[in-house]
Structure 1
Amino acid sequence: MKTMSVGEFKTHFSEVVEQIKDGEEIAVTYGKKKEVIGYFVPKLNKEKGKRTLGLLDGKADVLFKDDFKITEEEFLGFA
């Protein structure tokens, strides 16, 4: 990860934006101690597709007996 001061960031803003678009991660520092005040990272390109459900299908079973009972307090987590 590349590090630069606020002044460098401001001076080279357009170049920095291009670097970020190319996948570079940049930490911006401030002050004499050069404390990191923020990070600029590229946007994740997650494709929004169908959500996969049932990853554990066929690997586990749940069975509730007909006489299964739970109180309202147990259901709400008070018991």
Structure 2
Amino acid sequence: MLTVTIDEIQRNLTSYLQQVAAGESIIIMQADKPIAEIKQVSPTSKQIRPDGLCAGEFIVPDDFDSPLSEEILNSFGGK
């Protein structure tokens, strides 16, 4: 773990960020007291969901996009 002052980190920010990207952690000091830690962010990998994940598990009815009945519309619309 690397320890640097605020002045050092401001002068060489890019260099220190490259070290962080390589896995190094940095403690920032002010008046000989640690005030912050910079460390690499854990990579998050999102898995792509496969096509047809639920194929065959349900059937969309033919009237899926047909207009709703007045009774159902009234229950949503609060008429």
TM (norm. structure 1) is 0.55
Q: How many percent identity over aligned positions?
A: 19
CA distance in 2, matches of 1:38, 1:48: 29
Note the alpha carbon deviations across 1:4-43, whole angstroms, 9 max, x for none.
0111111111101111111110000001xx1000000001
Q: Give the secondary structure class of the aligned counterpart of 1:24.
A: coil
Structure 2 residue runs of 5 or longer lacking an equivalent are 48-79
CA RMSD, Structure 1 to Structure 2 (Å): 1.5
Match of 2:26 in 1: 26
Q: How does 1:30-69 map to 2 (within 5 A)?
A: 30-31=30-31, 34-49=32-47
How many aligned positions are there?
A: 48
**Greater gyration radius:** 2
Structure 1 residue runs of 5 or longer lacking an equivalent are 50-79
